[in-house]
A and B are shown apart, each in its own frame.
Chain A
Amino acid sequence: MSGARDAILGRVERAVRTGRIPSAPPHDRDEDGGTRADGDARRGAPDSARLQERFVLEARALGVETYVEPTAAAVCDRLRTLIAGLRVLAWNPDGLPYDCGSIVDGALLGSSPRADQARAEVGITACHGAIAETGSLALVAGPGCSPTVSLLPPFHVALVRPEDLHERFIDFVTARADALAQSSNCTFVTGPSRTADIELSLTIGVHGPGRVAIVIGP
């Protein structure tokens, strides 16, 4: 096994001496070792109202239902309406903001038998980040936060707090580097599951949820 490793690395090392690899002009490289994102210099930190506006705009363009609620009680009401009559799978209740945990009391959890989870009709999660630029939710797997919740049911409801908002992917990745390092799986959800494999005709809800709703609280 190590024979193959050494052989490949040896060939690669010799190859770069003869291969025609264009050299990168210095001004195209990252001056700071690659941590700075594009366009940083011109940009100030946007205020949270503008972030939220952008996030909602992008999410809606993707076909995501978005609700902005003024109070925690209104968030809970919205959630109750959305999940009325549906079989619920959820992140552990203590991980849900706005005291929504009590609403999902008795719901299926990530620790429930897989076959039961597969029969759930709605999955309820919070999020670890929301990316304004792309309308994406960042979901970091961990105890109580199983990726199955946002994946198996045909309908996904996510609760977002204003403090979860980041302008860009790289802002989230930098701000939550510790959380990312401790998790084996981080997924960015950008709209419902979709395919265009057949004649490029858009089809929603292939394997993941076909319906996504986001409730933003105060």
Chain B
Amino acid sequence: MSGGFAQRAREALGNQQLHIALDRTTAQLVVRRAAGLASLEDADRVRDRARASKMQLLHTLADSLRAFEARLVENGARVHWAETAADANRIIVEIATKAGVRRVAKSKSMASEETHVNGAFERAGIGVVETDLGEYIVQLAGDRPSHIIMPIVHMTREQVGRVMAQRLAVPYSDDTQTLARYARAQLREEFLQADMGLTGANFGVVENGAICLVTNEGNARMVTTLPRVYVVLMGIEKLVPTMADLDRFLKLLARSATGQKLTAYTTLVRGPRRSGDDSGPDQMHVVLLDNGRSKILAGETAEILGCIRCGACLNACPVYRSVGGHAYGDVYPGPVGSIVTPGIRGLAPFAELPSASSLCGACREVCPVRLDIPRMLLALRHEAVEHTRQPAALRMGLKLFARVASRPRLYRAATAVVRRVLRSRARDGWIRRAPGMASGWTRFRDLKAPAAETFETAWRRRAAGRTS
């Protein structure tokens, strides 16, 4: 990560390829989501109930985790608890080493992005391959995903074609059907060779210990069916109480993410293969990851743990749509990332993120769980001001303003000067380049010239007119 959000955003704004790629995707996803929600009977009610069940779950999370663990054990899975990303990686590599695993096939998982488990596998000499098409291309390109459900939203088809041609020694193509066929051929072998499958969890169902996975491609089915060892890495917040809740969340997730009524494949895994089964893993492990989640739960942004990672707030966000996911500097981009990232990684290095928003509320509008993202962004801004040191110029500036503004004569005199200076620079009522500290404002937009008369004098004049 180089520089801060502001610098990365500026670079992104100048990247024309990125704008082509983002434009081709995000606007369309917004339309598809709206159409998807419109096809859901009683959509508002379903969202209310989904929200209620998530919030209720958070209130009783410890009990739910204990119950979930008990069901997992009954189903024959082994449960591990990881306090940090490093702990999770150590546990997973240990499982792999003990089972003599040489190759791992991964289905798309944000939790594993968060812990950077691929690096841990590679350091242990274990091969690992991403099997979601987008994530696979990210891995081939040595890039990073930039969207929660569309990892290569920042790439054009031409860029993907060049990466595949270079890395897989196949003829260049910018036809998506051909590119997908290349990936299918390569990854089919990986699925058949892998000793271990690794996935996240879209949901964990408390009442029966089922791990619910959704994919459109079928890669999660492959990695839960073919390898002999299966590991789930999931955040402790990814639970839903019952199958009725799951039903509701599945409808909302698919519609909010892609506008589909249901994702192509929804799989419920309940433990390793049973006697008489021809396929399925011999052993199944579930790693429950905290990594800052319990800290988030204790604070002002606890609500964000209800997020189901649909990506709708990214597509709706005018900031995300302009700068893309990489500008946010970590695994989770967009409005949700601006809350989750400071929660997991600490506010200090990411204090700019809560300000990477105009607080327009589009994110809250589209959130299937109705998370109050603007409120949480404001809470984090508040915290950033309280706990981090603001630049000296800003602190002095605010102090100076307070002094001037609390003395009426001084204030009147100062505004008179400022007004005169600004009016002298205006052309047709607009100032294109303001002087001194005000130049920051006019770097990206024009400033309306001050009125000929201040509000105060206008008010006095009108008051005088009325009494006479």
A173 engages B272 (CB within 8 Å): no
How far is the CB of B138 from the nearest CB of chain A, in Å? 10
Of the candidates A20, A23, A109, A151, the one whose C-beta lies within 8 Å of that of B225 is A151
How far is the CB of A181 from the nearest CB of chain B, in Å? 7
Interface residues of A in 59-107 (CB under 8 A from B): none
Interface residues of B in 2-45 (CB under 8 A from A): 21, 24-25, 28-29, 41-42, 45
Of the candidates A9, A29, A189, A208, the one whose C-beta lies within 8 Å of that of B217 is A208
Question: In the complex, what distance in Å separates the CA atom of A102 from the CA atom of B183?
Answer: 36
Of the candidates A21, A25, A141, A201, the one whose C-beta lies within 8 Å of that of B277 is A141
Of the candidates A11, A21, A136, the one whose C-beta lies within 8 Å of that of B59 is A21
Known contacts A24-B52, A148-B225, A203-B180; A173/B243 CB under 8 A: yes
A197 engages B264 (CB within 8 Å): no
Known contacts A16-B61, A35-B242, A207-B222; A184/B272 CB under 8 A: yes
- Is B247 positioned at the interface, with any CB of A under 8 Å from its CB? yes
- Is A48 positioned at the interface, with any CB of B under 8 Å from its CB? no
A195 engages B180 (CB within 8 Å): yes
Of the candidates B51, B131, B188, the one whose C-beta lies within 8 Å of that of A28 is B51
A111 engages B83 (CB within 8 Å): no
Question: In the complex, what distance in Å separates the CA atom of A176 from the CA atom of B278?
Answer: 22
| Interface window among B296-304, B345-353, B358-366, B420-428 | B296-304
Of the candidates B46, B179, B217, B278, the one whose C-beta lies within 8 Å of that of A207 is B217
How far is the CB of A139 from the nearest CB of chain B, in Å? 10
A193 engages B218 (CB within 8 Å): yes
Of the candidates B58, B157, B216, B269, the one whose C-beta lies within 8 Å of that of A16 is B58
| Interface window among A36-44, A121-129, A157-165 | A36-44
Interface of A is mostly: loop
Question: In the complex, what distance in Å separates the CA atom of A207 from the CA atom of B183?
Answer: 9
B157 engages A134 (CB within 8 Å): no
Interface residues of A in 166-218 (CB under 8 A from B): 168-170, 173-174, 180-201, 203, 205-209
- Is B208 positioned at the interface, with any CB of A under 8 Å from its CB? yes
- Is A22 positioned at the interface, with any CB of B under 8 Å from its CB? yes
How far is the CB of A13 from the nearest CB of chain B, in Å? 5
Interface residues of B in 253-285 (CB under 8 A from A): 258, 260-274, 276-280
Of the candidates A19, A184, A187, A201, the one whose C-beta lies within 8 Å of that of B298 is A19
Closest to A202 in B: B176
Of the candidates B49, B157, B192, B301, the one whose C-beta lies within 8 Å of that of A115 is B192
Contacts of B156 in A (CB 8 A): 199
Of the candidates B184, B258, B273, B300, the one whose C-beta lies within 8 Å of that of A184 is B273
- Is A49 positioned at the interface, with any CB of B under 8 Å from its CB? no
Question: In the complex, what distance in Å separates the CA atom of A144 from the CA atom of B176?
Answer: 37
Contacts of B75 in A (CB 8 A): 184
Interface residues of B in 195-244 (CB under 8 A from A): 208, 216-219, 221-222, 224-226, 236, 241-244
B303 engages A190 (CB within 8 Å): no
Count CB-based A-B contacts (< 8 Å): 278
Contacts of B303 in A (CB 8 A): 20-22
A4 engages B82 (CB within 8 Å): yes
Of the candidates B58, B65, B131, the one whose C-beta lies within 8 Å of that of A21 is B58
Contacts of B60 in A (CB 8 A): 16
**Number of A residues with CB within 8 Å of any CB on chain B:** 81
B184 engages A146 (CB within 8 Å): no
Give me the interface of B with A, judged by CB distance under 8 Å: 21, 24-25, 28-29, 41-42, 45-46, 48-49, 51-53, 55-56, 58-62, 65-66, 75-76, 80-83, 87, 131-134, 137, 150-152, 155-157, 160, 176-177, 179-180, 183-184, 187-188, 191-192, 208, 216-219, 221-222, 224-226, 236, 241-245, 247-248, 250, 258, 260-274, 276-280, 288, 290, 294-303, 372
* Given A20-B301, A148-B225, A148-B226; 20 other pairs, CB 8 A cutoff: A8-B81, A19-B58, A29-B49, A34-B53, A38-B46, A114-B192, A141-B277, A144-B278, A182-B274, A183-B274, A184-B272, A185-B224, A187-B265, A189-B264, A189-B265, A196-B150, A198-B179, A200-B150, A206-B219, A207-B188
**Can you list 20 A-B pairs, Cβ within 8 angstroms, ordered by A?**
A4-B81, A5-B81, A8-B65, A8-B83, A9-B62, A15-B294, A16-B58, A21-B55, A29-B53, A30-B244, A38-B42, A58-B261, A142-B274, A142-B276, A143-B277, A184-B273, A187-B267, A203-B176, A205-B180, A206-B219
- Which 10 residue pairs of A and B lie closest in terms of their CB atoms, listed nearest first? A208-B218, A24-B52, A143-B276, A110-B278, A28-B52, A19-B302, A15-B298, A197-B134, A11-B294, A34-B242
